[in-house]
Amino acid sequence: MSAIPASVLTGFLGSGKTTMLRHLLRQPEFSRTAIIINEFGEIGLDHELLEASEDSFIELQTGCLCCKIRSDLSRTLQELLQRREEGRCTLFDRIVIETSGLADPAPILQTLMTDAAIARHLVLGSVVTAVDAVNGAATLEREAVSQKQVAVADRIVLTKLDLTGPAKPALLGWLEELNAGAPMLTAEHGRVDSADVFASGLYDPQTKSAKVHEWLAAEAHGHSHARHDAEIKTYAILRETPIQAVALTLFLETLAEHCGPDILRLKGIVNILESPGRPAMIHGVQHVFHPPAWLDRWPSAQRSSRIVFVTRCVPQRWVEALLEAIAEEVAEIGRVGPPRSSLKLSAGVQLR
Amino acid sequence: MSEPSERAHKLLVESLAAWRLAGSVERAADGALVIAGSRKDIRIERVPHEMFRWTVAIDGRRRPAISLVAVLRQVREALDPAYAANRVRVAIAPLVPFE
């Protein structure tokens, strides 16, 4: 068996990795691709967004990939290769590993290049980093791990240009400083050049900056440290009762209003009362909330709403209390009908 | 006046904690919610059957609020000097999918 290239798709929270992967998996040249997705959260949703075949798809939900790299990733890859060898999955000829948005790429790359258990069967292919053109500069300023993600890339894919227009000089300055050698591609609503995105050949650390060499060397020597900001928390809100569309709008507005910069990532599948057969997929990154994508049908038998949060110091109890209270108020207004003073409103009344 | 619900009570308690503000939220004898022990005295009442469903009295000055979301904004503006209101509008448009 010739070595199979395992490519890495990385990028900070909300940078558009899953959207891009979703597009790629629809292209014919990606039909023989196995996917490993790692989500930093109690409840994964990305697998419900991807239309990959079940048997060549693995979701790692045991924590962030970079923190358990020596065990989980290696074991998962071995399991995938075993399945392939025994004919228990699609005969893939490529693996794409989507890291969690908080993942330090260095230990992942080091494992793929040196782990003895997989080295005979796999080679490290391309490393592709998604960078969000809306929040990218601020994220690079604040999050050291996002700088690493850019520095190790063979290709940088700028996403969300449809929201910003051409990339801003501040962002381009960051990318130039961190990784001037990586060609830059763009993705519009996830649509990226599928022929080019993973076409850089095998990963060659020698073409990267001195910093990248340092990080990889540190991992080779077993260097370990707390990889994530301790203030970053992830949790999921589950709700069995459908949510009225206006309640969801108010809920998201209030989150953005009171703690926008600290909502590092929000994504969810929501059972909207007015649309029982077609759930809404919602996405938010800091202050930016995207219009919901209405799925044609529920991706699984589960009908509950599930919203996953990655936040800095936004308590789960507050988020849950907020959703419950808003849903209650909206439902009450729906029950009692229009207020008796609704006709008293006149110009000059300040709506608070 | 009618009593604010237990959910509204709980939301205010959790909001003070989330915003790291001092103060406690208690029920007055008439059912109103009172925020005490903070920079200002705040009293929150439900006004049933009215467009402005709430009244928020801050150090005795009463202002209407159209929703619980508006109540939260008034409370935070009163208690958190560092709060820069960010009036984001999130349009879940369309509210339901087009068929």
Higher pLDDT, A198 or A67: A198
pLDDT digits 0-9 by tens, A278-298: 999 998 887 777 778 889 999
Residue B59's domain comprises 6-79
Q: Which of B62, B23, B57, B31 is nearest to B42 (CA)?
A: B57
Domain boundary, last residue among A170, A194, A220: A220
- The answer to whether the CB of B54 falls within 8 A of the CB of B71 is yes
CB contact under 8 A, B74 and A352: yes
Residue A141 reports pLDDT greater than 50: yes
pLDDT digits 0-9 by tens, A90-101: 788 899 999 988
Residue B81 — very low, low, confident or very high, per pLDDT cuts 50/70/90? confident
CB contact under 8 A, A336 and B19: no
Q: Is residue B75 part of a domain?
A: yes
B82 vs A: CB within 8 A? no
Report the domain count for chain A.
2
Total length of chain A: 352
B19 vs A: CB within 8 A? yes
pLDDT at residue A290, rounded to an integer? 77
Q: Is residue B64 part of a domain?
A: yes
Domain boundary, last residue among A181, A196, A220: A220
Residue A52 — very low, low, confident or very high, per pLDDT cuts 50/70/90? very low
Higher pLDDT, A220 or A217: A217
Rounded-to-integer distance, Cα A183 and Cα A128, Å:
10
pLDDT digits 0-9 by tens, A228-272: 667 788 899 999 999 999 999 899 989 988 987 788 889 899 999
pLDDT digits 0-9 by tens, A301-312: 889 999 999 898
Q: Are residues A203 and A269 in the same domain?
A: no
Report the domain count for chain B.
1
Residue A338 reports pLDDT greater than 90: no
- The answer to whether the CB of A110 falls within 8 A of the CB of A103 is no
Q: The whole model's pTM is what? A: 0.69
pLDDT > 90: what percent of chain B?
68
**How far is residue A104 from each of residues A8, A16, A67, A154, B85, measured CA to CA in Å?**
12, 17, 8, 16, 34
Read off the DSSP letter of residue A70.
I
pLDDT digits 0-9 by tens, B3-60: 778 999 999 999 999 999 999 999 999 999 999 988 899 999 999 877 899 999 999 9
Enumerate the residues of chain B whose CB falls inside 8 A of the CB of residue A291.
91-93
Residue A273's domain comprises 232-336
Across the range A335-348, mean pLDDT stands at 49
Residue of chain B with shortest Cα separation from A313? B18
Enumerate the residues of chain B whose CB falls inside 8 A of the CB of residue A250.
67, 69
The distance of A324 to chain B (nearest Cα, Å) reads 7
Rounded-to-integer distance, Cα B7 and Cα A325, Å:
5
Q: Is residue B74 part of a domain?
A: yes
CATH of the domain at A269: 3.30.1220.10
Lowest mean pLDDT among A114-118, A346-350, B78-82: A346-350
Read off the DSSP letter of residue A342.
G
CB contact under 8 A, B85 and A257: yes
Residue type, A255: L
How many CA atoms are closer than 13 Å to the CA of A97, on its beta-carbon side? Answer: 30
φ, ψ for residue A73, nearest 5 deg = -65, -45
Q: Is residue B71 part of a domain?
A: yes
**How far is residue A107 from each of residues A81, A103, A119, A153, B54, measured CA to CA in Å?**
21, 9, 15, 14, 54
Enumerate the residues of chain B whose CB falls inside 8 A of the CB of residue A339.
49-51, 53
Q: Are residues A238 and A302 in the same domain?
A: yes
**How far is residue A19 from each of residues A23, A65, A126, A160, measured CA to CA in Å?**
6, 20, 18, 11
The CA dihedral of A314, B72, A244, A268, to the nearest 10 degrees, is -10
How many CA atoms are closer than 13 Å to the CA of A105, on its beta-carbon side? Answer: 30
Total length of chain B: 99
Lowest mean pLDDT among A40-49, A99-108, B62-71: A40-49
- With vertex at residue B67, the alpha carbon angle to CA B61 and CA B69, rounded to the nearest 5 degrees, is 95
Q: Which of B39, B11, B10 is nearest to B23 (CA)?
A: B39
Long-range contacts of B56-60 (CB under 8 A, 24+ apart): none
Q: Is residue B93 part of a domain?
A: no
Q: Are residues A322 and A210 in the same domain?
A: no
Q: Which of A2, A6, A52, A3 is nearest to A30 (CA)?
A: A52
pLDDT at residue A349, rounded to an integer? 34
Rounded-to-integer distance, Cα A58 and Cα A131, Å:
24
pLDDT at residue A150, rounded to an integer? 97
**How far is residue A316 from each of residues A106, A227, A237, A263, A312, measured CA to CA in Å?**
31, 22, 8, 12, 11
Q: Is residue B84 part of a domain?
A: no
Mutate to test the interface with B, among A274, A311, A318 (most CBs of B within 10 A): A318
